[in-house]
Amino acid sequence: MARTVGFFTDTTLCIGCKACEVACKEWNQLPGHAPQFGDGYDNTSQLDEQNWRHVQFHERTTAKGGVAWNMMSDVCKHCALASCMEVCPTNAIIRTEFDTVYIQPSVCNGCRDCIAACPYHVIGFDEASGLARKCTFCYDRLQANLTPACAKACPTESIKFGDLDTMREVAGARLNQLRGQGMSEARLYGDKEYGGLHALFLLTDKPEIYGLPPTESAVLPSRNNVRGYLGTLVTAALGVAGAVFAFRERGGKE
């Protein structure tokens, strides 16, 4: 059963239908927050304890003066070098047999260190249970050899699921195709960041547009990352470092 799985989200195929959000909530029995108007199209606003998938909408003017509307279904990245795991004091956050990052509810003590540490603002605190919660990569479905709910529901195959190596190949081929069509802004995100993400994204603009830290700063200053360690000479508590990253990232958000 053990395998290394991954998502590949091709934003050029995302139509912002939010089927992933609904499927995720239905399968994982997340009631969601009270309805709240955001900006008309994005009323989910962020990833947190209730929203494990979040479709982002970014409206902007193109270089040619036209309009572009970039959509991306965001999710926990299940980082190879996961900040949340690094800071968790109770070892509640583990790496599963699928190489995904999973918060064990029975071990989590609700200290919220992981929430501060996550550079992607994925985790939220669930007041009802007193636990930190985030995408489980549909751990229960993986154990039953099923595709995660979001990828299963995606009508356009914008969210793809499979072995991480396969996802890398598919992503690389799609990138080449788009570059071949002259889309020079197309790029892959997740190959290098935090030791390699288990959720790869094909973007048509800079990562910052989507609220993602740029590749060069997406490194973990930890004992697991020698370059990061030497480069920044971080000796302070990892939780603090995580918070610093979090602030830097927020500053870069639109």
Partner 1 sequence: MTNHWRDIQHADVIMINGANPAEAHPVGFQWFLKAKLDPRRGIGRGGGAKMIHIDPRFTRTSAVSDVYARIRTGTDVAFFGGLINYVLEKNLIHHEYVRNYTNASFIVKQGFGFNEGLFSGYDPAKRLYDTSTWAYEGDVPAQAAFERAQKEIVAGGHAPAGAGAGVALAKRDMHLEHPRSVFQLMRKHYSRFTPAMVASITGIPEEQFLEIAKIVGETGRPDKVMTIVYAVGLTQHTTGGQLIRSAALLQLLLGNMGRPGGGMNAERGHANIQGNTDNAISWEILPGYLRIPAPGQKNLDDYVTQSAPKKFDANSWNFFGTNYRKFMVSLLKTWYGDAATDKNEYAFDFVPKPATNSSWISIYDQALKKKMEGVILSGMTATSIGPDANQVMTALGNLKWLAVMDPLPTTSSEFWRRPGADPKAIQTEVFMVPSTHWIEKDGSFVNSGRWMQWKEAAIPPEGARHDHWVLADVFQRVKKLYAQQGGKFPTPLMAMTLNYKDPAKPELDELCQEINGFDLTTGKRLDSFGKLKDDGTTTAGDWIYTGSYPEAGNLSKRRAGIQDPKKNDPTGMGFYHGWAWSWPLNRRVMYNRASADLKGKPWDPSRPGIEWDMTDKKWKGDVPDYPPTMDPKDPKAWGPFIMNGEGVGRLFSSSMLDGPFPEHYEPVESPVENPLHPKQSESPVVFLYDKQGGRENRFGTAKDYPYIATSYRLTEHEHYVTQHVPALVGLQPKPFVEIPEEVAKERGIKTGDRVRVSSKRGKLEVLAVVTKRLGGLEVNGKTVYHIGIPIHWGYVGIAADRDPTKGANWLANALTPFVGDANSRTPEFKAFLVNIEKIG
- Binding residues vs partner 1 (CB under 8 A): 12-19, 21-22, 25-26, 31-33, 35-37, 39-41, 43-44, 59-61, 66-71, 155-157, 177, 180-181
* Residue number with CB closer to partner 1 (69 or 247): 69
Q: In angstroms, what is the minimal distance from the CB of 62 to partner 1?
A: 10
Q: By 3-state DSSP, what share of the chain in percent is helix, strand and coil, each rounded to 5?
A: 30, 20, 50
* Residue number with CB closer to partner 1 (16 or 110): 16
Q: In angstroms, what is the minimal distance from the CB of 232 to partner 1?
A: 39
What is the rounded CA–CA span in Å between residue 251 and residue 235?
24
Residue 16 phi/psi, 5-degree rounding, is 65, 30
Tell me whether strands 199-203 and 5-10 are parallel, antiparallel or unpaired: parallel
Longest Cα pair distance anywhere in the chain, in angstroms?
Answer: 54
* Residue number with CB closer to partner 1 (41 or 229): 41
Provide the 10 A C-beta neighbour count for residue 56.
Answer: 22
Q: In angstroms, what is the minimal distance from the CB of 37 to partner 1?
A: 4
Q: Residue 141, SS3? A: helix
Q: In angstroms, what is the minimal distance from the CB of 228 to partner 1?
A: 37
Residue with tokens 């000479």, as numbered in its chain:
233
* Residue number with CB closer to partner 1 (98 or 201): 201
Residue 88 phi/psi, 5-degree rounding, is -65, 120
Residue with tokens 């999710």, as numbered in its chain:
75
Q: In angstroms, what is the minimal distance from the CB of 83 to partner 1?
A: 29
* Residue number with CB closer to partner 1 (173 or 236): 173
Q: Residue 221, SS3? A: coil
- Which DSSP letter does residue 109 get? -
Q: In angstroms, what is the minimal distance from the CB of 34 to partner 1?
A: 8
* Residue number with CB closer to partner 1 (21 or 74): 21
- Which DSSP letter does residue 14 get? -
Residue with tokens 């997406």, as numbered in its chain:
218
What is the rounded CA–CA span in Å between residue 9 and residue 227?
28
* Residue number with CB closer to partner 1 (11 or 83): 11
Q: In angstroms, what is the minimal distance from the CB of 205 to partner 1?
A: 13
What is the rounded CA–CA span in Å between residue 180 and residue 29?
42
